[in-house]
Amino acid sequence: MSVIKKVLVFGLAASLAGCGAITSFKPMQSIKQSAAKAVVAAYGADLSPKAELRASTDHERDEKAKEELGYILGSQAYLAGIGSIRLNEFRYGMGNLAKLAHRSDSDKFFDYGEPGVKFNEWTYLKKLPQPDLKIGITPNVDTLYGGVFFNLAKEPIVLVVPKVNRYFSVQIVDANLSNVAYLGTRASNGKSGKYALVGPQWMGTLPEELELIRIPTNEGKLAVRIRIDGPEEESLLNELQGKFDSIPLSSYLDPAKARAYDDFPAPLEGGELTEYRQIVELAQRNPPATMAQRAAWESYQYIGMSLTEPFNSDNIDPAIRRGMGRAIKSVHDIVAWKVKFRGYKSASNWNVDLKGGTYGADYLARAEGAVQGYIVHDADEAMYFHTYHDGDKNVLHGDNAYTLHFEPEYLPPVDEFWSITVYGNDYNIIANSIDRYAISNRTKGLKYNVDGSLTIQVQATKPENGTSNWLPTPEGDQFRLNLRMYGPRAVLRSADSVEKYIPPVILAKNN
């Protein structure tokens, strides 16, 4: 018998015993009251809701409560929506950047249709990123980029992948910049193929030669990275990049049908709480794919956000609006902190992320990845370690000289390749006197020590012992290091062993 039942029974028995004779019952209401008193006596407390949670009769308190509601739910909604906002802003910017490049006769971009990047159009960078390419996504100088900003609302697209005899990856993300699928050297053994990217509502029939990849949102991005070992290989890789293609299904079935490419929507600007309006409109274009994602929107209704109705800040209580406005600044502060501390901080002050870009419901990690790297590889494909600090937790600065030393038994354990790149605080590479933006195991002339160890000199001025192992930094300014490991082995993906392979950045003794 449960405790509550026992208390009720004993309480009832006590009430009956107090009646004198069993045939002399007290009124039922009296019996219930006695039983309730027995429960209170047994637990030593009133089971009623706390006074603080009961209906408020204080207008000032009510106004404060509404503002806090706007702040709490607004913070959650904005944090969850940063990925979709970043996709929308970046693809629009890339479209304009490609148009500018075309007008200036730049040979940096390739696209099939009219000048500029559009939905479902295969396009690629023909050259390695340079300091003057301010795309702010921590671009690597290990691979040449290509890709498609897709929109599958009207029909699927057919992705044509050629045979590639060197490392490459095709990373496919949804409208929130979370990973959905992979192709490439690791994921599909580098084979050629034709793949149909299909949206969540499409229910048609595909030709047998097409392998279906179901995408949970209509919009998203696929990024192709192909290993390049130096600028001299750009022309060779451009030829390979040109063999990829993205074809609307209707044009694939009927090659005589012209391909139609739609423009990207411009990011919303101006107006109160524009960030929330963007999130609502983008979510209505790409409805939440999972029950957990949809459940959050049941709470967002209290701050005027809906998957079916347009967002209108004028219809929101002024106190709630104040809270939502506060939330925007707080989320910016939170993401700025998280950007500096992706994953967890190792003993050597590198940030360690063992998961990567399949975020699930970790919206904070997704927001950080969207801001700092745009799209982030899963750890199976590549691992990123970055730091703003040396081994003594001091901020890295170009006025100082540093060394990074790998013991011979702890050189980066990868099946593909590794690199260390210098970035500014805007997530772009930085100009230097020898046009070297990274050092890798493919750097020509890289010298290992007699015992097989490797020491890299990280500083702004040319080292006295030559440039072979020199990674230039910006003089007089802060910087960040990114250590990339492609094809990481199991020891890197384990929290028990990863830190052996990421030594601290050490301030040189002569500083």
Q: Cα separation of 423 and 139, whole Å? A: 9
Residues 43, 113 share a domain: no
Whether pLDDT at 129 is above 60: yes
Which residues, at least 6 apart from 493, have a Cβ–Cβ distance to it below 8 Å?
Answer: 354, 379, 380, 383
Residue 374 lies in a domain: yes
Residue predicted with more confidence, 173 or 10: 173
Residue 292's pLDDT band (cuts 50, 70, 90): confident
Mean pLDDT (whole number) for 20-48: 62
* Predicted local confidence at residue 174, as pLDDT: 98
Residue 485 lies in a domain: yes
* Predicted local confidence at residue 454, as pLDDT: 98
Q: 67 to each of 75, 110, 305, how far by Cα in Å?
A: 12, 49, 16
Over residues 6-30, the pLDDT tens digits come to 444 444 344 434 444 444 445 556 6
Query: Final residue of a domain: which of 204, 236, 253?
Result: 253
Residues 206, 123 share a domain: yes
* Predicted local confidence at residue 19, as pLDDT: 44
Mean pLDDT (whole number) for 235-258: 96
Residues 142, 242 share a domain: yes
Point out the least confidently predicted range of 33-37, 235-239, 311-315, 381-385: 33-37
Angle in degrees, CA 218, 70, 367, rounded to 5:
40
| Adjacent-strand bridge partners of 182 | 171
Over residues 89-117, the pLDDT tens digits come to 999 998 888 888 776 666 777 766 667 88
Q: H or E element: which one contains 225? A: strand 219-227
Q: What is the CATH number of the domain that holds 245?
A: 2.60.40.1610
Query: Final residue of a domain: which of 236, 253, 270?
Result: 253
Q: Cα separation of 439 and 351, whole Å? A: 19
Domain total for the chain?
3
Residues 145, 34 share a domain: no
| Adjacent-strand bridge partners of 159 | 195, 246
Domain that holds residue 209: 109-253
DSSP 376: -
* Predicted local confidence at residue 33, as pLDDT: 65
Q: 191 to each of 145, 164, 167, 224, 462, how far by Cα in Å?
A: 19, 7, 11, 14, 44
Residue 296 lies in a domain: no
Query: Final residue of a domain: which of 227, 253, 279?
Result: 253
Residue 57 lies in a domain: no
Residues 468, 368 share a domain: yes
Over residues 467-482, the pLDDT tens digits come to 999 999 999 999 999 9
Residues 113, 245 share a domain: yes
Which among 152, 126, 130 is positioned nearest to 141, based on CA atoms?
130
Over residues 390-447, the pLDDT tens digits come to 999 999 999 999 999 999 999 999 999 999 999 998 889 999 999 999 999 999 999 9
Point out the least confidently predicted range of 29-33, 185-189, 340-344, 483-487: 29-33
Q: What integer best gives the mean pLDDT of the chain?
A: 90
Residue 93 lies in a domain: no
* Predicted local confidence at residue 30, as pLDDT: 65
